[in-house]
């Protein structure tokens, strides 16, 4: 991205007529009237600086409700739809009912849900990390629960969606 910004800045400096007028108008508005090439080089430099000085990771900062809803929308909604109302006796029953309910259109629901579960296990390794950062918002999410979900999805996909040999 930064190389592209620097390249476009060079093109702007060499030949201002090469880019469409709409691009120049947007660039002028974004740069608040500063020189287009200088603005694009500055933007590239800022991105490089941010990339080199990374901020605190998930293991250092708790996620707020809106961050969880953006990063893990399916896990967040899963509890509301399948866990919290107490319709099923156990979490495993809830997980199995959710997985079975999506057949035969499992790919649209189960693949993204499984991806979020796996991401949560990677981003919050261990019981304490998940308890401190994800579980306050997604109350049912524990490493064990997410592994049960992944196992239910995997079992379903192997049982229902494996091509015959």
Q: Cis bond leading into 104, ω under 30°? A: yes
Mean pLDDT in runs of 10 for the chain (165 residues)?
Answer: 77 70 76 75 79 60 78 86 82 87 82 93 89 88 94 89 73
Identify the pLDDT of residue 99: 87
What are the tokens at 11? 């093109």
User: How many CA atoms within 13 Å lie on the side-chain side of 17?
Assistant: 0
Q: What is the pLDDT of residue 54?
A: 59
Phi-psi region of 33 (alpha: psi -120 to 50; beta: other; left: phi over 0): left
**Residues 70, 117, 99, 139, CA torsion sign:** negative
Answer for the pair 5, 41: CB distance below 8 angstroms, yes or no: yes
Question: Would you state the pLDDT for residue 4?
Answer: 80
C-beta of residue 59 within 8 angstroms of C-beta of residue 129: yes
- How confident is the model at residue 146, as a pLDDT? 95
Instruction: Kindly give, in sequence order, each residue whose CB lies less than 8 Å from that of residue 53, ignoring residues fewer than 6 positions away.
Output: none
pLDDT at residue 116, rounded to an integer: 94
pLDDT given for residue 18 in this prediction: 67
pLDDT at 147: 95
């Amino acid at each position: 991205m930064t190389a592209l910004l620097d390249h476009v800045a060079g093109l702007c400096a060499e030949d201002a007529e090469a880019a469409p007028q709409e691009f120049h108008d947007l660039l002028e508005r974004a740069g608040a009237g500063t020189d287009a090439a200088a603005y694009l080089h500055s933007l590239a430099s800022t991105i490089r600086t941010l990339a080199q000085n990374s901020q605190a990771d998930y293991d250092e900062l708790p996620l707020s409700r809106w961050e969880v809803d953006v990063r893990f929308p399916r896990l967040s909604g899963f509890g509301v739809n399948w866990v919290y109302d107490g319709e099923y006796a156990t979490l495993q029953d809830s997980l199995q009912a959710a997985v079975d309910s999506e057949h035969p259109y499992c790919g649209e629901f189960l693949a993204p849900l499984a991806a979020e579960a796996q991401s949560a296990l990677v981003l919050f390794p261990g019981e304490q990390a998940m308890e401190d950062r994800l579980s306050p918002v997604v109350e049912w999410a524990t490493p064990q629960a997410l592994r049960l979900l992944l196992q239910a999805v995997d079992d379903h996909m192997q049982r229902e969606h494996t091509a015959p040999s």
